[in-house]
Amino acid sequence: MDATSQGQTNEASIRYEGWRIVGVCFVLATFGWALGFYGQSVYLAELQRVHGWPASTIATATTFFYLVGALLVAFVSEAMRALGPRNTLLAGVGMLSIATVLLGQITAPWQLYAVNVLLAFGWAGTSLGAITNTLGMWFDKKRGMAISLALNGASFGGIVGVPLLVAASNAFGFAGATMAAVGAMLLLLLPVILIFVGHPPHRAAVGNSAVANAPSSTRIRAQAIRDIAFLSVTIAFAFGLFAQVGFIVHLISFLDPVIGRERAAAAVSLLTVMAVVGRVLFSTVIDRLNQRLASAFSFLSQAVALAIVINFHSDALIFLACALFGFSVGNLITLPALIVQREFDPRAFGVLVSLITSVTQVTYAFGPGIVGWLKDISGSYSVPFYSCMALQVIAAVMIMVRGAAKTPRS
């Protein structure tokens, strides 16, 4: 085998085609999170401004979006198997595009719920489940690095996409902004998906016999929900992400009276930047680490950051705590897939990752609401943030419960 052919099949080679798929998934994550996840805060403000609808009505529709999306994510692996990665990603981009444009055209609250169903289909086809399933077809040994690098697009979508969406709304109106965002997404994503996302190389390597002997998705899920090794991962990250999302959504509201709105916004920006830094640094070593132990340290570091934020009002300490908390934000999204890859049958990877993503998304969908509810009852953020800190500590203990995987990695 010559050097060229080795480069085409060696995941460590810069010439390996899988790294082009990482680039595609980075762009996909940028638009998926900008329009599907972070964009929800923009939609709430703009729909209130344009239509005067109550915030509770729009926020309830957002929770509905997350819940529908969580149910759909569980079946992304089947979509990939039936349609192939290229067609699945194209379908996700198409539905995300149509839903985003329709958000700028709706005139009644019931239409918002209908559009959010379509938006949930688009989110499922452009977010974590679709990206990890796609990269799982091209990578094995370097899967951790590939997923980590691709998911930096999620942070990029929050850092760049949301301010641009707000600026476009100010310049063109909300309807014009949604059409401009969709135009940019289609212009950038459609060509790269059509050109670079083809047949994954591992499909031939696995062979027809392995595919024929692969357990059904229903059987994999049935085994997983009775498997301590799987449940410990799922519940730990459900708790951790519940606390993470609940804290981040309420961070500006908490910090505003403490350090002022401008410094609070800067603290959130620092948290987001550190999420990118943490994910990039982890990507270089994550495949060689004890990933359960790394997860436990990530949970505990966020618990320490919460303790600092609650008890100290020094600007420097608050910024330090936000940086510490942010360092693990991206990795808590990446680590579940890597633990599944290492501990379970590779044929079950797509189904198990989609299942974990579905469960955690259902859980963290309620995070902001419950944190707000506890704040209203107690009169301050101490009780909800201490509750989040307790969940992080429980998650750190739970993730170390390994059990014996019933679908072990062969």
pLDDT band at 273 (very low <50, low <70, confident <90, very high): confident
40-44, 114-118, 162-166, 283-287 — most confident range: 114-118
Q: Averaging pLDDT over each range in 40-54, 100-114, 354-368, which range is the top one?
A: 100-114
If one counts every other C-beta atom within 10 angstroms of the C-beta of residue 88, the result is 25
Q: Which residue has the higher pLDDT, 100 or 252?
A: 100
Element (H, E) at 258: helix 228-259
61 versus 206: the higher-pLDDT residue is 61
Q: Mind listing the pLDDT tens digit for each residue in 288-313?
A: 778 899 999 999 999 999 999 989 88
Q: What is the pLDDT of residues 147-182, one digit of tens each?
A: 888 888 888 887 788 778 888 888 899 999 999 999
Q: Judge whether residue 97 has pLDDT over 90.
A: yes
The average confidence (pLDDT) of the chain is: 84
**Average pLDDT for residues 9-29, to the nearest whole number?**
85
Q: Where are the domains of the chain?
A: 14-209, 215-398
Burial of 289 (0-12, 13-18, 19+ CB in 10 A): middle
Q: Where do we find the tokens 């060689």?
A: 288
Question: Would the pLDDT of 29 be above 90?
Answer: yes
Same fold, 14-209 and 215-398: yes
On the question of pLDDT at 204 being above 50, the answer is no
pLDDT of residue 389: 95
Read off the pLDDT of residues 177-197 as tens digits, 9 standing for 90 and up. 999 999 999 999 999 999 999
pLDDT at site 134: 92
Residue 22 has pLDDT above 80, yes or no: yes
Name the range with the highest mean pLDDT among 197-201, 292-296, 404-408. Answer: 292-296
Write the CA distances from 99 to 92, 94, 228, integer angstroms: 11, 9, 39
Report pLDDT for 248: 80
- CATH class, domain 14-209, is mainly alpha
Q: Which three-class secondary structure string do you get for 297-344?
A: HHHHHHHHHHHHHHHCCCHHHHHHHHHHHHHCCCHHHHHHHHHHHHHE
CATH number of 215-398: 1.20.1250.20
In this predicted structure, which of 65-74, 165-174, 343-352 has the lowest mean pLDDT?
A: 343-352
